[in-house]
């Protein structure tokens, strides 16, 4: 039998652990993680390769009710990936006791012939009875090809899930080189790592109005690189929070991001961070495009 290959879309509500799962499968950080919903904004492909085949996982923004143009873009990205997939992973939080999933998800599945797996994540946070109750709740709404309880953080059942996915994929080629783990350019991932640290360190003080643009990445002599990036906010008050008193917050964001960037690039980094205000950028088409939300 030849190798298997195909595309697997990971969809679900915000904050169910889609990006954590992707990073666990790939074995390194390619998607940023935050406890704030709607952290993932773009379609991010993670490439898993083994002797059995190649799975291109597509991490998507969480399905939510959009409140601005950026939100509309994010939901559109998630919807588009459903149409492109060979297998769909519908990921849910085992501790979520809500009675129903988003309408879009149910509608998309009912019209699709693509195999859908129910992936119940965060089983490390609940007992077996709660896991079974969660499975029954979703099974009463939709039919699934497979049901798999996992813990993306601990890696529980993740390899089992990967092998089960391979069973459903067609025989095909290796779409990407064997050592490639993502199709995203390094500049994009660097910007996302900076945004992750800004989200984490500013906590609830600055909501979802942060964006990062990497303006320059240049390798220098002696295993070093220069990175200049701008953190955009929507208001002057948010800019002040990101900079912090005496510039301390911005220094903390830079120090934390630099460690992840050095691990990604394998180089010593000089990170030059700036903060600018771009008013109402989440509703401005030209600003969305300039920041890569196309």
Q: What is the pLDDT of residues 224-247, one digit of tens each?
A: 999 999 999 888 999 999 999 999
- Closest by CA position to 108, among listed 135, 121, 134, 90: 90
Please state, in angstroms and as integers, the Cα–Cα distance from residue 213 to each residue in 68, 117, 187, 271, following that order: 20, 35, 9, 13
Alpha carbons 294 and 291: distance in angstroms, whole number: 8
The DSSP string of 19-74 is HHHHHHHHTS--S---SSTT---S-EEEEEEETTEEEEEEE-PPP----SHHHHHH
**Token reading at 49:** 């390769």
Candidate from 10-19, 107-116, 153-162, 260-269 with smallest mean pLDDT: 107-116
Three-state DSSP at 196 gives helix
pLDDT digits 0-9 by tens, 187-215: 888 988 898 899 889 876 665 778 888 99
Whether 131 and 196 share a structural domain: no
CATH number of domain containing 19: 3.40.50.300
Domain count, the chain: 2
Torsions phi, psi for 191 (to 5 deg):
-60, -40
Contact 102, 142 (CB under 8 A): no
Enter the tokens of residue 153.
């953080």
The average pLDDT across 4-23 equals 88
Domain assignment present for 222: yes
Summarize the confidence of residues 166-195 as an average pLDDT. Answer: 89
- Identify the CA nearest to 215 among candidates 205, 226, 206: 226
If one compares 212 and 123, the residue with the highest pLDDT of the two is 123
Q: Are 140 and 194 within one domain?
A: no
- Asked if the structure places residue 178 within a domain, the reply is no
pLDDT above 70: residue 73: no
Query: Does residue 145 sit in the same domain as residue 44?
Result: yes
pLDDT at 291: 62
* Range of weakest confidence among 6-10, 175-179, 236-240, 284-288: 284-288
175 occurs within a structural domain: no
Q: Where does the pLDDT of residue 37 fall: very low under 50, low under 70, confident under 90, or very high at 90 and above?
A: very low
Please tell me the predicted confidence (pLDDT) of residue 43: 62
Token digits for 234? Answer: 């929507």
Specify burial of residue 265 (Cβ count, 10 A radius: 0-12, 13-18, 19+).
middle
Phi, psi dihedral angles at 11 (to 5 degrees): -130, 165
Task: Compute the average pLDDT of residues 19-28.
Answer: 90
Domain, as residue range, for 127: 4-168
């Amino acid at each position: 039998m030849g190798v298997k290959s195909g595309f697997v879309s990971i969809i679900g509500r915000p904050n169910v652990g889609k990006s954590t799962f992707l990073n666990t499968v790939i074995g390194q950080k390619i998607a940023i993680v935050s406890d704030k919903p709607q952290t993932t904004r773009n379609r991010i492909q993670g490439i898993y390769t083994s002797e059995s085949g190649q799975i291109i996982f597509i991490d998507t923004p969480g399905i939510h009710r959009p409140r601005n143009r950026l939100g509309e873009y994010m939901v559109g990205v998630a919807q588009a990936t459903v149409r492109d997939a060979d297998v769909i992973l519908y990921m849910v939080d085992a501790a979520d006791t809500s009675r129903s999933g988003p309408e879009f998800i149910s509608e998309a599945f009912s019209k699709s012939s693509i195999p859908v797996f129910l992936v119940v994540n965060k089983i490390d946070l609940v007992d077996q009875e709660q896991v079974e109750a969660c499975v029954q709740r979703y099974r009463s709404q939709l039919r699934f090809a497979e049901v798999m309880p996992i813990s993306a953080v601990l890696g529980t059942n993740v390899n089992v899930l990967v092998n089960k996915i391979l069973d459903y994929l067609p025989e095909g080629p290796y779409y990407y080189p064997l050592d490639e783990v993502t199709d995203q350019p390094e500049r994009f991932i660097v910007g996302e790592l900076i945004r992750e640290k800004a989200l984490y360190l500013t906590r609830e003080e600055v909501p979802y109005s942060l964006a990062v643009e990497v303006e320059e990445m240049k390798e220098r002599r002696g295993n070093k690189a220069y990175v200049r990036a701008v953190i955009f906010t929507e208001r002057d008050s948010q800019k002040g929070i990101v900079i912090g008193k005496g510039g301390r917050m911005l220094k903390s964001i830079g120090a934390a991001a630099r460690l992840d960037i050095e691990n990604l690039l394998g180089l010593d980094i000089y990170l030059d961070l700036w903060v600018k205000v771009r008013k109402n950028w989440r509703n401005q088409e030209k600003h969305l495009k300039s920041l890569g939300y196309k």
